[in-house]
Chain A
Amino acid sequence: MVMGDLKFCPKEGLSRWVEELSREHTVLVPQQAGDAVEFLPFAEGSELSLDRQPTAPPKKSVFPQTETLMRFEYQKDPEHPDRQTLQIKETLPGKEKTVILGCRPCGARGFSVFDPVFGQGEYLDPYYQARREHTVFVSLACRHPENTCFCNWVGGGPADSAGSDVLMLPAGGGYVLRPVTDQGRQIVEVGGFEDASPEQQTEADRLAEEAAENLSPAPELEEVPDKLFELFENLDFWELMAAKCISCGACTYLCPTCYCFNISDEYSGLQGKRIRTWDNCMSNLFTHEASGHNPRPTKAQRLRNRVGHKFSYYPKLHEQVFACCGCGRCIKSCPMSVDIREIVLSAKEYADE
């Protein structure tokens, strides 16, 4: 880290910076909407809501809930209406830059789970890649971890920089801005901030450390992937874990790392589009086949796949990294208070009788 990189943004300078950024980019900032906090485009007069963890993570900015993959049109020759030709038009996202400002480090970290799948495999996802490339994350380090936070279990932390371009560290009545990437550096430059003083830097580090200390200690999870694999056929275990689950999608749709999707066509008249939309592995229909067969007909089997994917299959395929950023939204947004930490620990501690 080059010392001169660290800048200080006083609290009252923040909205000016955002305003400045929003001249050239779409800037999504957490704002109060009803009783929720959402990432909404910054407009003049928008009030930033930075005290609460946003209700939904910034996932949709890079992986929108509905992505139009292509448009299609049947063209007809009025002289020969029986001969219609098909036109397909690829609809890649534009190249405009989007800045996400005020997400938590875990929210940005979520994309590090996407990247190996959408941007590094045999098949590259051009929609994801285009958006990923053109999105800059300015993450706000956490001062007060919540009861549901467990980023430290999965390799993150209150001031984790993975996936972020700039880290905003609360200090001295403002924020120490720590660029993580070149993109981040450019963004910070826009603000024309003064360098952060050593005192400010020390305070920022101290507060980050304090926050980390406030997290409950992370358990050892190394054996979990194998353990879950072993438990696969123990349906009793999964039925117990899933008893209170109601198979809704609150956990998956609010998860910064869940990337399962559906593809479907919608049309009107001769035109239509093929869209990609978030899908929910907890839904019975997710794997329901046209024949009526369903490999995962019960919620226990579906929960097994969800937890298995995050804590076993994904790490086995991707260098032991868990497909979870520990943000805790699945826990606190669950209407029935299903706690994924409890499931993982139960699996870890499960002993065959």
Chain B
Amino acid sequence: MKYVAELKAKIREKLPELDVVIGWKQGFDPVHASPAFMTTPEEIEQLVVNPLCVQNLATYLPGLKGKKVGIVARECDTRSIGELLQESLIEREELTVFSVKCPGAVDLVKLRQQVGDLGRVRSISFDGPRVTVETPDESSSLDLGELLPGKCRVMAYDEPVLADFRFVDPDQDTVCREEADTDLVALEQMDLDERFAYWRGHLDRCIRCYACRNVCPMCVCQDQCIADTRDPHWLSAETDVRQKWMFQLIHAMHLAGRCTECGECERACPMDIPILTIRRKLNREIHELFGYTSGMDVDAVPPLLTFQPEEKSITEREW
């Protein structure tokens, strides 16, 4: 991105006032970017912004409470920041948001489906909507639009929820877009038995590593999660699919009205389980019931922490 130089200059300027600035840098191989915790000018030089910068860095913010933190954030990432602020999990004064216009994102699972094992990719380059990937065997030219993660196809973010500094290239378009939620639509076309079998099958793979939980910016409990306690004893330590399923429901219900659909849970899942779908379904229902979208308004109250004596959208079933 052309704005990266400008971004680096701004971070350099602000760094003396900040304890750390979180951004991305090149990771261990061509297709992986990695969070960068920048405290020195040299580290700022390593900063990159490209469609491989997939991590939502907002997830680190609650853990850095009390420190002056700068964060490089895409538009969708600022939604998580907005929600964190709304719940007073972080302090606005401690935060400096370097808002960057999203260059698009690559779903590595989709990339793998296209080019095979990512561990063999020698190089990857971006030229507008074209993505060129080189492996020892071949060179592929792909369309970035086809590689976008599902989360980029359900909501279009033109502007950040909040920003202290904004970086946009001239003529840069918004890459994410609002389309039908294909995963959910596909699921809802199945009959109930198939859906049950779908989840039973997928969740059976879960290894209970809790990457989905730990990467979630809205998981406030972290070390105190009820998935790990015996008082209360919601889950047993067993690894049968019930426990795994129940955990997903715990996570989803605790996120209801708070989930910012950043998709990190699904991205982090080493077993590639499509768990975002459950959260997305809840978000859709919350929108329908309460006209509410999380994270967009720092002053709003999450819908499950309030009520209306007359609920317009809830039809009381007469029994």
Contacts and interface: CB of A to CB of B under 8 A. Distances in A.
Asked if A and B form a direct contact in the complex, defined as CB atoms under 8 angstroms apart, the reply is yes
A38 B205 contact: yes
Contact of B239 (A66, A240, A244, A252): A66
Interface string A34-55: 1110100000000000011101
A86 B189 CA distance: 52
A335 B268 contact: yes
Contacts of B27: 337, 339
A246 B214 contact: yes
Nearest to B122: A147
Contacts of B215: 246, 248, 335-336
A49 to B, nearest CB: 11
Interface stretch (B32-40, B160-168, B306-314): B32-40
B207 A56 contact: yes
Interface in B197-219: 201-202, 205, 207-211, 213-215
B209 A285 contact: no
B237 A66 contact: yes
Given A147-B28, A246-B214, A262-B237, A332 B272 contact: no
Contact of A147 (B113, B119, B223, B267): B119
Contacts of B268: 246, 248, 250, 335
Contact of B109 (A35, A254, A283): A35
A34 B120 contact: no
Which of B28, B55, B230, B270 has the largest number of chain A CB atoms within 10 A? B270
Interface string A12-45: 0000000000000000000001111010000000
Contacts of B237: 66, 262, 264, 266, 275, 277
A149 B209 CA distance: 22
A280 B35 CA distance: 23
A266 B236 contact: yes
Contacts of A284: 222-223
A34 B37 contact: no
A331 B117 contact: no
A35 B32 CA distance: 18
Contacts, number: 148
Contacts of B112: 35
Contacts of B222: 247, 284
A240 B27 CA distance: 16
A284 B222 CA distance: 9
Contacts of B95: none
A38 B213 CA distance: 22
B13 interface: no
Nearest to B272: A35
Contacts of B267: 335
Interface in B111-126: 112-113, 116-121
A262 to B, nearest CB: 6
B238 interface: yes
B209 A280 contact: yes
B83 interface: no
Nearest to B112: A35
B136 interface: yes
Given A34-B272, A246-B59, A254-B270, A336 B210 contact: no
Given A34-B271, A34-B273, A149-B119, A249 B208 contact: yes
Given A149-B119, A277-B237, A56 B59 contact: no
A55 B29 contact: no
A226 interface: no
Contact of A56 (B213, B239, B271): B271
A333 interface: yes
B205 A250 contact: no
B271 A249 contact: no
Given A253-B207, A266-B237, A337 B28 contact: yes
Interface of B: 27-30, 32-35, 37, 55, 59-60, 109, 112-113, 116-121, 136, 201-202, 205, 207-211, 213-215, 222-223, 228, 230, 236-240, 264, 267-268, 270-274
Given A146-B120, A148-B28, A248-B215, 17 more contacts: A33-B205, A243-B35, A246-B211, A250-B268, A253-B209, A266-B237, A275-B238, A277-B237, A280-B209, A283-B223, A284-B222, A329-B270, A332-B118, A332-B119, A335-B215, A337-B32, A339-B34
| A-B CB proximity, top 3 nearest | A146-B119, A335-B268, A147-B29
11 contacts: A148-B119, A149-B119, A249-B208, A249-B210, A250-B209, A250-B211, A250-B270, A254-B207, A278-B207, A284-B223, A339-B28
Interface of A: 33-36, 38, 51-53, 55-56, 65-66, 144-149, 240, 243-244, 246-250, 252-254, 262, 264, 266, 275, 277-278, 280, 283-285, 328-329, 331-333, 335-339, 341-342
